[in-house]
Structure 1
Amino acid sequence: MNLPSSGAVARILVVLYSSLLLACTSLPRINPDMLQSPAPQVQLDDARGPLPEARSNAILKRLKASGMETNIFDLHLAIEEALVGSPLTAGNRVDLLQDGPDTYAAMFEAIAGARDHINMETYILEGDEVGQRFANALIAKQRAGVQVNLIYDSVGTLGTPPAFFARLREAGIRLVEFNPVNPMTVRAGWDVNQRDHRKLLIVDGRIAILGGVNISGVYSSSSAGSGHQGRPRGDMPWRDTDLRIEGPVVADLQKLFITTWDRQKGGPLVARHYFPPLERKGNAVVRAIGSSPEEPYSQIYATLISALHSAQSEIWLTSAYFVPDPQLMDALKDAVSRGVDVRLVIPSSTDSWLVFHAGRAYYAELLDAGVRLYERRDALLHVKAGVIDGVWSTVGSTNLDWRSFLHNQEVNVVVLGADFGQRMRKAFLDDVQGSEELTLESWQRRPILARMSERIGRIWGYWL
């Protein structure tokens, strides 16, 4: 989240006040009985469109055979497809990027190789050294004839000098400020509680990079290795996860970007080849899922709850901001009761005091139910990822909190298969190695001040 600096406090108060004036919306109820109904056919697409039924079934059979004994490949995939509307797409290559340095290296490489257009969407874009590096790279491409289109969130960039964006605009880069805080500058209606939390880079309609990494100097160091013990929080490396994707699913991510551009009244996009013919790049089966508060429900939330209900052996989740709603709590506890190994890696420190303590208010209930909790040490955790039964993985911008599910635009992908699942399991276990496991006995001995902070945070959970 990496909230803006104190210089923007007045405008943040406007945002907070306006959020309290809004009527409360609710999360969809995903009924586990759905998973007992006859399963509709699961459809897979590839670079040329829908695959024949026999080919789709063969791919799903191969994926199922390569993983753990699991229910994920039975009813769940059809339920997920009905919930989110986007198809599973075969023929993709997915690379796992851990922490800012790896993600930035992949982003700069993709930008340098751009020949037609660059579409970029981000929550935070700071005017620091890292932000200037990105600005320089994007301006250079724009001047070389590559059209650059940029969507940035108004709240996420409150601390960024206006001159930073003026420089981009003067170079010919097309800009959209998502839901401006200033009501005099809005194009699509004033609703400052709805934020664009996505982090998405699409180059030439062929390469996409997405996950949790914003554009900020806090990501300049890696969490790998040791030597951070005892550092103050501000000096800790940030731990995050992104994906680099090539293949047919990039077209679905491109549609999400263009939909946001249109909804925000960005005007006609400069004509470019936004949807080039896409070739098979690998063997990964991927589904792109975008959520927006303008839609009836969060498709990412519905997908997650459906997957939790279907889990048979493991649910391993990592979340930087964890403020669960009742249905999510029930799904985690119910999974433990049927013998599923449920583990969460959560932060030991944070950049958001209220969110941190709001989440900790639920730890006793989870620990009592048998959920295993690990607090990541020596790094500021910003990951939003999960792996279920070793075969269903998700990475994106979505936290396990009310704000992500109700108030934010988010983007995640679901990747199927044991090969990628093993990479996700290893990353999770590496985080466990850098964590301290909480026990119910030790948690019940926490000081009274911590309990009071949790009560305060829990009151605000819906709006955080």
Structure 2
Amino acid sequence: MNSSRMRFWLPLLLMCWGLLGACASLPNVTGLGDKLEPAGAPTVKTAKGELSDARARALLQQRWAKGGLNLQEQAALEEAATGVPLIAGNKCTLLFDGPQTISEMLKAISAARNSINFETYIFDQDELGNKFADTLIEKQQQGVTVNIIYDSVGTLGTPKEFFERMRKAGIRLTEFNPVNPAKVSGDSWKVNNRDHRKVLIVDGKTAFTGGINISATYAKSSLFRSASRPTDKSQVGWRDTHIKIEGPAVQAFQWMFVRQWAGQAQDELPEADYFPKPVIAGDKVVRVLGSDPGGKFEIYKAYALAIQEAKKSIHITSAYFVPDQQTVDALKAAARRGVDVRIVVPGVSDVGLVMYAGHAYYDELLEAGVKISQLKLAVLHAKTAVIDGQWSTVGSANIDTRSFLHNSELNVIVMGDGFGVEMERAFQEDLKDSNPVVLDEWRHRPWANRMKEWAARFMGYWL
């Protein structure tokens, strides 16, 4: 079964499995910032240790653009909500689309000297998947320790022989939460919980994350990175975003991988220098947030706080936009207080049910002043946001219940307007390749579409 067909019926399959258990719920985040008791200054860790309160405040003050978020206050609130400190001294490279990201990842893998830890939701056996497998096998044979975590549901369409070839070469692989309960020890089988992270860590010094899986759908660039503007969607690759991190924050990625491995694998990780002494690689201050089913909703809370505290702009690019009512209310409230709230969503999607579920919220968002645009031709798969041009996030989490409740996800938050400018530039490019949704026209859409929206919204919890 090919991956596109698998992704078409996957939401229905997970819905059926999900019905076997009770529905969980997201925490109440309304007014969360008013209820928290943040420290006087956020915790900022560096390659040389933790900064004093005065130095932490000074560092964030340098990145505070007047009229927007107060980064010091925002960072302190976010730490109080998530329990995760900031990490300074990093280099952050924003990667647009599949070809640029894949090129950087393969370059990093080829340069590996000690270890490669790779975690992915989809790993297809196609031209790109085979290229990754061949490169990883080559590094393993050169003496580099290679460990892979792949999601069982995300790779349902991938032949077992594909992974077995890597195992025979000496690569250690762990299948996350196997669909077959016979493969799970004890009573920990919860098939609705998935590992949706996309993480690559090389030598404990370089890390990648974002929305890009290993699939031929990323072999071509999407519209705004193409030399010419094709009119046939078959000529266009998926639109996605990744980020490359170098510096002390890579250790946070490594710890999350080790924890995920320990919770799933029967064997321990082989010995390697997974945590080399961190060095300062740049001037970016980041927060690495990992969330897990049944956890503390770290990514959800960070999003909620940033939206609630926004002063000027909220610019979101969301592949699967099926917000819970609290998020809808927060976006509406921001628009009504004068914040420029714009959301780029798919015009075409690989999972039609999810797209229609998101459509069900357009009317009330548009009426409140939220501006929605649908990306043309390219399938949108990016999960990014930039708020007030200073708070940016790139990661694997969609703005939907599944990501926040049932998936293991990983997002990086980058503080400051330096990176924010790059994020804004990418967002504006997406807007150029999108069609705005106009409220009056939207209210005259076909009744057949409305029925699809109603049905999809009913199933929204499991999508």
Distance 1:431 1:14, change over 3 A: closer
Q: Which moved more, 1:28-37 or 1:95-104?
A: 28-37
Distance 1:3 1:416, change over 3 A: farther
Give SS of 1:239's match: coil
**Which one-letter code corresponds to 1:337 in the other structure?**
R
Aligned counterpart, 2:128: 130
Aligned counterpart, 1:73: 71
Query: After the TM superposition, which residues 32-431 of structure 1 pair with which residues of structure 2 at under 5 Å, given as runs?
Result: 32=31, 34-35=33-34, 39-40=38-39, 41-64=41-64, 67-187=65-185, 189-223=188-222, 224-225=225-226, 230-232=231-233, 235-295=235-295, 297-431=296-430
**Which one-letter code corresponds to 1:252 in the other structure?**
A
Are the equivalent residues in 2 in contact too, given 1:315–1:341 (CA < 8 A)? yes
Residue by residue over 1:402-447, the C-alpha shift from the partner in whole angstroms, topping out at 9 and shown as x without a partner, is: 1101111100000011110000000000000001111101111111
Equivalent-residue separation in structure 2 for 1:123 and 1:437 (angstroms): 31
**Which one-letter code corresponds to 1:395 in the other structure?**
V
Give SS of 2:93's match: strand
1:294: Cα distance to partner? Answer: 3.2
Equivalent-residue separation in structure 1 for 2:204 and 2:310 (angstroms): 34
Are the equivalent residues in 1 in contact too, given 2:69–2:390 (CA < 8 A)? no
Residue by residue over 1:196-240, the C-alpha shift from the partner in whole angstroms, topping out at 9 and shown as x without a partner, is: 0000000010000110000000100001237555425x5532100
Equivalent-residue separation in structure 1 for 2:335 and 2:132 (angstroms): 45
Residue by residue over 1:46-90, the C-alpha shift from the partner in whole angstroms, topping out at 9 and shown as x without a partner, is: 0122112222121011111xx242234243211211222221011
**Which one-letter code corresponds to 1:104 in the other structure?**
I
Aligned counterpart, 2:441: 442
**Which one-letter code corresponds to 2:421 in the other structure?**
Q
Distance 1:339 1:47, change over 3 A: same
1:3: Cα distance to partner? Answer: 8.5
Equivalent-residue separation in structure 2 for 1:37 and 1:143 (angstroms): 51
Are the equivalent residues in 2 in contact too, given 1:35–1:75 (CA < 8 A)? no
**Which one-letter code corresponds to 1:451 in the other structure?**
R
Equivalent-residue separation in structure 1 for 2:36 and 2:349 (angstroms): 42
Distance 1:3 1:313, change over 3 A: farther
Are the equivalent residues in 1 in contact too, given 2:290–2:408 (CA < 8 A)? yes
**Which one-letter code corresponds to 1:28 in the other structure?**
P
**Which one-letter code corresponds to 1:256 in the other structure?**
M
Equivalent-residue separation in structure 1 for 2:268 and 2:344 (angstroms): 43
Give SS of 1:342's match: strand
Distance 1:332 1:146, change over 3 A: same
Equivalent-residue separation in structure 2 for 1:436 and 1:218 (angstroms): 23
Are the equivalent residues in 2 in contact too, given 1:228–1:379 (CA < 8 A)? no
Are the equivalent residues in 1 in contact too, given 2:38–2:79 (CA < 8 A)? no
Give SS of 2:22's match: coil
Distance 1:39 1:17, change over 3 A: closer
Give SS of 1:339's match: coil
Are the equivalent residues in 2 in contact too, given 1:150–1:176 (CA < 8 A)? yes
1:154: Cα distance to partner? Answer: 0.4
Equivalent-residue separation in structure 2 for 1:118 and 1:178 (angstroms): 18
Are the equivalent residues in 2 in contact too, given 1:332–1:342 (CA < 8 A)? yes
**Which one-letter code corresponds to 1:457 in the other structure?**
A
Equivalent-residue separation in structure 2 for 1:356 and 1:235 (angstroms): 22
Give SS of 1:395's match: strand
1:164: Cα distance to partner? Answer: 0.3
Equivalent-residue separation in structure 2 for 1:428 and 1:5 (angstroms): 26
1:362: Cα distance to partner? Answer: 0.5
Give SS of 2:77's match: helix
**Which one-letter code corresponds to 2:83 in the other structure?**
G
Are the equivalent residues in 2 in contact too, given 1:228–1:378 (CA < 8 A)? no
Residue by residue over 1:249-304, the C-alpha shift from the partner in whole angstroms, topping out at 9 and shown as x without a partner, is: 11011111111101113421111111110100000000000000031x32100110
| Structure 1: 5+ residue stretches without partners | none
Give SS of 2:24's match: coil
Give SS of 2:270's match: coil
Are the equivalent residues in 2 in contact too, given 1:206–1:246 (CA < 8 A)? yes
Residue by residue over 1:16-61, the C-alpha shift from the partner in whole angstroms, topping out at 9 and shown as x without a partner, is: 4211111011101124263376641211110122112222121011
Q: Which moved more, 1:164-173 or 1:264-273?
A: 264-273
- Relative to the length of structure 2, the TM-score reads 0.95
Equivalent-residue separation in structure 2 for 1:199 and 1:58 (angstroms): 33
Are the equivalent residues in 1 in contact too, given 2:11–2:462 (CA < 8 A)? no
**Which one-letter code corresponds to 2:74 in the other structure?**
H
Equivalent-residue separation in structure 1 for 2:7 and 2:407 (angstroms): 20
